[in-house]
Amino acid sequence: MRIIAVMNQKGGVGKTTTSVNLAAGLSKMGKRVCVVDLDPQAHASLHLGVEILGNETTIYNVFTGEKKMADSRRLVAPNLWLTPSSLDLAGTELELVDTVGRELILRDAINEMVATHPFDYMIMDCPPSLGVLTINALSAAGEVFIPLQPHFLALHGLSKLFETTALVTRRLNRNLRVSGIVLCLYETGTRLAEDVAQDLSLFLKQSDPEAPWYNARIFQSRIRRNIKLAEAPSFGQSIFDYASKCPGAQDYGMLAEEVEGLAATRQAPLSKAG
């Protein structure tokens, strides 16, 4: 099973759109996929047509120890499951401040679930911050995908992301690797987008071989600007169900094929602490 954390501390770069539509694309290829919504805004859940009302089980109940991971998942489409989020998750950092091993709660919960409910992919939509929820995702994941808008200022934010992955690799998850960067909101034919892609490629090639982002690839599938991608969440559908012939569906379909066709940079069972 490949466990992928989709993260970027900057909002509006296509993180949730990528999490949901990559998962949907893989599920349509016959892969068993589970999306874990770790953002208190619950945008991935809404994107997949799930709005939490009342006392329904969410990932928040997993963090508090009230429910098991298997109890929180729900089937939202053929081969596609969701562990939804809710606004309650916003208080998790304060509630867990004195909890021993709080960075590993999600890893242990996933370990327990996949022993009886295996998946081909687990894709975690991280919040736009580098707090305890994101650290939990990185502690559980084997891979990190970073959605990135190809602007020069976006490159500066990468340094903080890379520092966080390096810290988690040293202290919590030695198997963690940044394996892919997804260029989103891509404007074809512009010099700026291509220049940024080239600068990023050069940086990755010159990285320290010991860095967790060494050998990360920039996916060839570029996610172009497409209004249908912005419309789909309001209908609670992936782009494949909302507008299967649009450029956004084509781009995410190609990304899913590219991800599936790649061997993981370093694929291993869920890592152990340390």
Q: Tell me, what's the pLDDT at 67?
A: 94
273 vs 247, higher pLDDT: 247
**pLDDT at residue 38 is higher than 50:** yes
Least confident of 20-29, 55-64, 203-212, 214-223: 203-212
Q: Exposed (0-12), middle (13-18) or buried (19+): which is 169, by Cβ within 10 Å? A: buried
Query: Sorting pLDDT into bands at 50, 70 and 90, what band is 129?
Result: confident
Neighbours of 75 (CB within 10 A): 10
Reference 216, options 163, 269, 143, 133; nearest CA is 143
Domains present along the chain, CATH in parentheses: 2-261 (3.40.50.300)
Percentage of the chain beyond pLDDT 70 is 96
* pLDDT of 265 over the 50 cut: no
Considering only residues 123 and 204, tell me which one the structure prediction assigns the higher pLDDT: 123
Measured distance between the N- and C-terminal CA atoms of the chain, rounded to whole angstroms: 21
Residues 6+ apart with CB under 8 A from 138: 5, 7, 144, 164, 165, 168, 172, 173, 176
The one-letter amino acid at 84:
P
User: Mean per-residue pLDDT for 235-251?
Assistant: 97
How many residues are given for the chain?
274
Res. 155: pLDDT tops 50? yes
